[in-house]
Amino acid sequence: MSTTTQTSDILTQEVRQAEGNETMQLVSFRLAQEEYGVEITKVQEIILMGEITRVPQTPDYIKGLINLRSTVIPIVDLRLRFGLAREEISDETRIMVVNVAGKTIGIIVDAVSEVLRIRQDQIAPPPPTVAGLGQEYLTGLVRLENRLLILLDIDKILGQEESAAIEAATAGL
Amino acid sequence: MSTSDPVVHDEFFESLLGDFLDESGQLLDALNDNLLQLDDWVRSLGENHQERCDDGLMNEMFRSAHSLKGLSAMLGLTDINQLTHKVENVFDAARKDELIITSSVVELMFQAVDRLVGLVAVLKDPSREPVECESVISQIAALLQSAGAERQQSTQADAERALGPSAPEPTTDTTSEGSSSTDATRTGLESEPSSEEVDLFTGLYNETNVPAKYLSIFVDETELSLDQLTETYLAIEDGGTREDLESLLVISHRIKGSAASVGQNRPAKLAHLMEDLLQEWVEKKWPLTPEVVDAMLRGIDELRQCVENLKRGGNISDQLGQAAEDLLKAREQAAAAGMNAASPGQTPQESGSAAPVNAEKPSGSVEKVSPMPEGLTESWRRQVAATAPPGMTILVGAVRFHPNLPLVGLKGQLLYEKLANAGDLCGFDPNPETLEELDELPGVRFGLATEKPAKNIAGLLRIAGVEHVEVEPLEKEPVVDAKPSAPAAAAAVKSFSTSQPSTASRSETRPADGGSKPTETLRVDIERLDQLMNLAGQLVINKARFSQIGEGLRAALSNKRANQAFDGIMRALNKMTETDRVNTEAELRIRLNELVSQARRIQHDLEPIRREVLALAGAQAAVNELGEAIHQLDRVTDGIQQSVMDTRMVPIGPLFTRFKRVIRDITRTNGKAIRLVIRGEKTELDKRMIDELSDPLIHMVRNSADHGIELPDQRVAASKPAEGTVTLDAFHRGNSIMIQVSDDGRGLNPDSILRKAIERGIVTPADAEKITPHQIYQLIWEPGLSTAEKVTEVSGRGMGMDIVKSKIEALNGTVDLDSTPGKGATLTIKLPLTLAILPSLMVKIDGDVFAMPLESVVEIVSIQRSEAKTVHGQWTARVRNRIISIVRLDEIFQWRQNHSEATEGSRDELTLVIVGEEGHEIGLAVDVVLGEEDVVIKSMAENYRNIPGIAGASILGNGRVSLIIDILAMIDMASRSGAAAMAAI
């Protein structure tokens, strides 16, 4: 992924048909007053919150399992994953179903905002420190007209912690 | 014109490959089994014997190898083909007394079969290591050489051709000699006596393992052909026309071809003889005397008898020899009556004999064209041009197959279909309808009206087994053919000696190159499919009933008018109850009139309500019917579930039989005497389970045979029979299938296991204090714990017991080990009946619904809270004189408590679901038992990961996910956390 920092034209939400491979589409969502973006190719669908079956021996941020048209998928509470405060479920709360590393998982977000198209040169590398967010989920920042979008590496959502948890769980047997 | 596109892999090929994998597995199993018998026999004789081994066995093995050879050749699997060819030669030599079967021969054959198994495995999974088989091939060649029995040719078809008195059709002799592609040259066999008369049938056997589907095609077609033959013979008894004779020839040839293609070599032989004689008659213009016709009819009767026998599944009657004798006698008479009696061996063998038949009917009924297209001749161009639609680009082409390509008719059929899809066929030779029956076909030719360029069409035709493809546009004004219009065979030699080397094209046909796995196939009993079809039919009827009920309900409940009427009544009542002050009598009268009219209106409005209430009664009936329909649906879905499961079920016997070989190899290497006892081979398992079980079982059997069974002298010293026994058993128990591997060997030593486990830190010394022997045995499933004192060649490598366990667990099964030191050990695999559906007990624990496998549930009891007592901090209850420890899920899972406190406190009774096996039972505290349900197991690892203590997830009727408790893991976890106090109760 390109990490050029050159300043660029400000892209409005009106998508500009830029030349060839330079653009990418993002789904943006809100989480604790911040705006995040995920590559649209990773997003399968967006669904309403439903009943989640909790699962034992999983990290806090694994809220449990849901039935997505006869497939059982895990639900990650992104707030807890990022160490943010818990929030009551609102009318805007959504589950974003994403495909990561061959698996389908749902992530709980405060609200889904829009689909937008950006150019690669709008992406700036992440600053050395971002409050409340571990570096590893982060691929960059996207400058928009009057706001900043945090580009998320959704593949890392289940993360090393979880792989470690898997090992710990099997080792415990 | 001939482009060098790579061989096209198409869906047809893929499906054939699936069939091949299925078929070859069975054939190799059979071969292995027979080899074991042979091995026993050889060993019983000792070295340097001169005995001739059992013919039946040899023939069976020959046929297995032969079938495998044919199948592999059809798919262009060169490696398998070459190896099976060699194997076949060995068996052939043995049954012809040219080779003595010694133990080294058997050993070599075992190696060859192993290589074949490996080659087939590579086909299934192209990522595997390629198998080297050159060494085995050369060893076999050396063996045959030394036995003086080196022969390149031994297929039934070839033998038939060589033994036969004459071959009326142009054989591909010239081509095979000219081509490097055939490993077959006809040396040594040409000199075989051709004057035998009645002995024609010795050494000819019908193949028995021909798939029934092909046989039934053969039976149908041959019956028809025989009818035609009889009819024609009867019609021409008084001397028929030349055309009649030719049609007789064609039909006889067809019978011969189709019989040979399904391995009915004896009937094929007779048909061949009949065809030869007819040919002679046509050649020599002898009159068909009644004697000859009689003999022919007798032959037809015999053939019919064969077909009948086949239909009934019986053995072929052996009157064929008699019929052949009659035929030959009739020929002799005719020859004597005729002018120069020519011996059958001298009948012209060149292509000329059949070609005239062909040439004289260039554009007549295609039916009678002999299946010997001659390449792109001028006459063919003309024929295509005559039938071609005007104004289209016409391509003419010819395809030449590898000589001696098995099932060539099917290949021809495939080409025909491909061409038909690519454009409008305006000519195809031979007749596509007879293609499938042909067993000899040098090639096909065609005319095609298509938009596509010739190059594309040529690429399309380049399938496995095709030697040469020629496609060119047809000039409307036929140009002079540049090619010499010499006999077809000569042209063929020329064309493929200049075409690409066939070895190159062969290596390209390896399906492994595709990198994709072939589709798996499963043979399903047609009865099971019929049953499923029947159920599907019921489901359709059921659906119709539902929509009918739905209509009825909708009609009954459409009470729009009632609402209106109600409104009207309410208005009227309101008016009636208006309390206007009434002063005068006149006013009173008016009021009264008003009341009456309102009452009438009410009366009027009540009528539709009454009618709709009546309709509602109809709705009640519909609801009743709905209940019934749901009940029906219930039964049908159960039936479908069962039937679909049944289609996947295959007996475990073949899997078990494979272990005879494993045991034999082990006894060979370690000098032990071991008997394998197989029981319950009819037990049926899900096909996928059988596939998955193979590896773990091999490991378990090796362990038993290698580590379990002692050396003979040790056994005798322990006053056990010198021969050890390994038993494989499979049986149903409840809703599970149990598979046991047991041995009567030395058993496991619990002390050494425990010592090792402590060494490796798997068990803490503190835990070791209170561990039971059974628990110790289960430690062998831990990674890195091998109890073997020495690692042997056989069982020291490969997967560890921990992998065995995880493999079994992946099938939702469990594995258990029990042992009595000195007496032996038993490994028990317990598998669910099916991979997908689990009969479960549904319970609610702390507000969440869980499923637990019904098979693990022993009983459900309700105890008073006061009856629960702590023993060393562990809550226990006394249930029917057993002490059961009470386990709470939230404790085991160390779950954060949400809401259980309130519910817990208010209840005096405790419901316990007692789960586990005898002696390892625990009582799981639940809020409430909801009932039994068949749940569909959904993998959690698919999108997340496996969680200890949870066997999977399932989806409830309301769409929510519920977890399935892994009882064994839970018991395990409970015993680990046993010391922890369960203070919550």
User: Hey, is the C-beta of A67 within 8 angstroms of any chain B C-beta?
Assistant: yes
* B943 with A72: Cβ contact below 8 A: yes
Q: Which of B374, B386, B363, B378 is nearest to B479 (CA)?
A: B378
CB B795 within 8 A of CB B785: no
Give the residue-averaged pLDDT of B462-479: 66
Q: Which of B653, B654, B678, B659 is nearest to B794 (CA)?
A: B659
Cα–Cα distance for residue pair A155/B372, rounded to 1 Å:
63
User: Hey, is the C-beta of B980 within 8 angstroms of any chain A C-beta?
Assistant: no
User: Hey, is the C-beta of A56 within 8 angstroms of any chain B C-beta?
Assistant: yes
User: Hey, is the C-beta of B948 within 8 angstroms of any chain A C-beta?
Assistant: yes
CB B448 within 8 A of CB B385: no
**Does an H or E element contain A67, and which?**
strand A62-68
User: Hey, is the C-beta of A146 within 8 angstroms of any chain B C-beta?
Assistant: no
Output the pLDDT for position A7.
38
Tokens of B224: 């028809």
Q: Which of A3, A10, A1 is nearest to A143 (CA)?
A: A10
Identify all chain A residues contacting B972, using CB atoms and an 8 Å cutoff. Answer: 173
CA dihedral sign, ordered B149, B152, B155, B156: negative
Other C-beta atoms closer than 10 Å to the C-beta of B568 total 18
Lowest mean pLDDT among A80-89, B64-73, B129-138, B355-364: B355-364
pLDDT per residue as tens digits for the range B935-979: 888 878 778 877 888 888 888 878 889 999 888 778 877 777 654
Pick from B80-94, B162-176, B416-430, B509-523 the range whose average pLDDT is largest.
B80-94
Output the pLDDT for position B6.
39
C-alpha distance from B224 to closest chain A C-alpha (Å): 53
Pairing of strands B869-871, B874-879: antiparallel
The residues that bridge with A149 in the sheet, in sequence order, are A142
Q: A23-171 has which fold?
A: OB fold (Dihydrolipoamide Acetyltransferase, E2P) (2.40.50)
Q: Quickly list DSSP for B321-354.
A: HHHHHHHHHHHHHHHHHSSSPPPGGGS--SGGGT
Output the pLDDT for position B317.
52
* B848 with A53: Cβ contact below 8 A: yes
Cα–Cα distance for residue pair B230/B247, rounded to 1 Å:
12
User: Hey, is the C-beta of A72 within 8 angstroms of any chain B C-beta?
Assistant: yes
- Band (B172; pLDDT cuts 50, 70, 90): very low
CA dihedral sign, ordered B332, B338, B341, B344: negative
Lowest mean pLDDT among A46-60, A136-150, B371-385: B371-385
Cα–Cα distance for residue pair B731/B680, rounded to 1 Å:
6
User: Hey, is the C-beta of B848 within 8 angstroms of any chain A C-beta?
Assistant: yes
Pairing of strands A103-109, A71-77: parallel
Cα–Cα distance for residue pair B601/B445, rounded to 1 Å:
91
Return the CATH number of the domain spanning residue range B373-478+487-511.
Answer: 3.30.70.1110
| Amino acid residing at A87 | E
Answer whether residue B197 shows pLDDT above 70. Answer: no
- Band (B83; pLDDT cuts 50, 70, 90): confident
The residue that leads in pLDDT, B334 or B371, is: B334
* A64 with B953: Cβ contact below 8 A: no
For chain B, the structural domain boundaries read 11-155, 199-347, 373-478+487-511, 526-647, 650-748+787-832, 837-979
Identify all chain B residues contacting A56, using CB atoms and an 8 Å cutoff. Answer: 889, 893-895, 947, 949-950
Identify all chain A residues contacting B948, using CB atoms and an 8 Å cutoff. Answer: 57, 169-170, 172-173
For B189, left (φ over 0), alpha (ψ -120 to 50), or beta?
alpha
Tokens of B305: 């008898």
Residue B374: which residues within 8 A CB-CB, separation 6 or more? Answer: B355, B358, B380, B445, B487, B488, B491
Residue B632: which residues within 8 A CB-CB, separation 6 or more? Answer: B538, B542, B545
Answer whether residue B367 shows pLDDT above 90. Answer: no
Lowest mean pLDDT among A90-104, A124-138, B453-467, B542-556: A124-138
Query: Which of A65, A104, A173 lies nearest to residue B948, judging by beta carbons?
Result: A173
Q: Where are the alpha helices (DSSP H) in chain A?
A: 78-81, 159-171
Tokens of A103: 């698996």
- Band (B567; pLDDT cuts 50, 70, 90): confident
Pick from B495-499, B888-892, B916-920 the range whose average pLDDT is largest.
B888-892
Q: B650-748+787-832 has which fold?
A: Heat Shock Protein 90 (3.30.565)
Order of all β-strands in the sheet with B443-449: B424-429, B443-449, B394-401, B466-473
Q: B199-347 has which fold?
A: Four Helix Bundle (Hemerythrin (Met), subunit A) (1.20.120)
pLDDT per residue as tens digits for the range B233-255: 777 765 667 777 777 888 888 78
Lowest mean pLDDT among B275-284, B344-353, B394-403, B824-833: B344-353
CB B89 within 8 A of CB B145: no
Cα–Cα distance for residue pair B960/A51, rounded to 1 Å:
7
How buried is residue B293: exposed, middle or buried, by Cβ count under 10 Å (0-12/13-18/19+)? middle
* B969 with A103: Cβ contact below 8 A: no
pLDDT per residue as tens digits for the range B64-75: 888 888 888 777
Cα–Cα distance for residue pair B355/B107, rounded to 1 Å:
49
Cα–Cα distance for residue pair A53/A75, rounded to 1 Å:
9
Buried b (16+ CB within 10 A) or exposed e, A8-22: eeebeeeeeeeeeee
Cα–Cα distance for residue pair B422/B418, rounded to 1 Å:
6
- Band (B210; pLDDT cuts 50, 70, 90): low
Output the pLDDT for position A96.
92
CB B809 within 8 A of CB B792: no
Pairing of strands B961-965, B950-955: antiparallel
Answer whether residue B371 shows pLDDT above 60. Answer: no
CATH architecture of B526-647: Orthogonal Bundle (1.10)
CATH architecture of B837-979: Beta Barrel (2.40)
C-alpha distance from A169 to closest chain B C-alpha (Å): 7
Output the pLDDT for position B817.
86
Output the pLDDT for position A65.
92
Lowest mean pLDDT among B19-23, B50-54, B247-251, B932-936: B50-54
pLDDT per residue as tens digits for the range B714-740: 888 888 888 889 999 998 876 678 999
- In the DSSP assignment, the letter for residue B800 is -
Q: Which of B82, B60, B68 is nearest to B20 (CA)?
A: B68
Start-to-end CA distance of chain B, whole Å, equals 88
CB B244 within 8 A of CB B266: no
Q: Which of B309, B228, B231 is nearest to B264 (CA)?
A: B309
For chain A, the structural domain boundaries read 23-171
Cα–Cα distance for residue pair B37/B535, rounded to 1 Å:
44
Pairing of strands B848-853, B961-965: parallel
- Band (B165; pLDDT cuts 50, 70, 90): very low
Answer whether residue B523 shows pLDDT above 60. Answer: yes
- Name the CATH superfamily, with its identifier, for domain B11-155: HPT domain (1.20.120.160)
Q: Which of B499, B447, B468 is nearest to B401 (CA)?
A: B468
Q: Which of B788, B781, B907 is nearest to B844 (CA)?
A: B907
- The overall average pLDDT reported for chain B is 73
Please report where in the chains the tokens 């039994």 appear, as a residue.
B932
- Which of B762, B899, B924, B943 is the best mutation test for A, with the most CBs of A within 10 A? B943
Q: Which B-chain residues 856-915 have CB contacts (< 8 A) with chain A?
A: 889, 893-895
Tokens of A140: 């960059």
CB B731 within 8 A of CB B680: yes
- Band (A162; pLDDT cuts 50, 70, 90): low
Answer whether residue A38 shows pLDDT above 80. Answer: yes
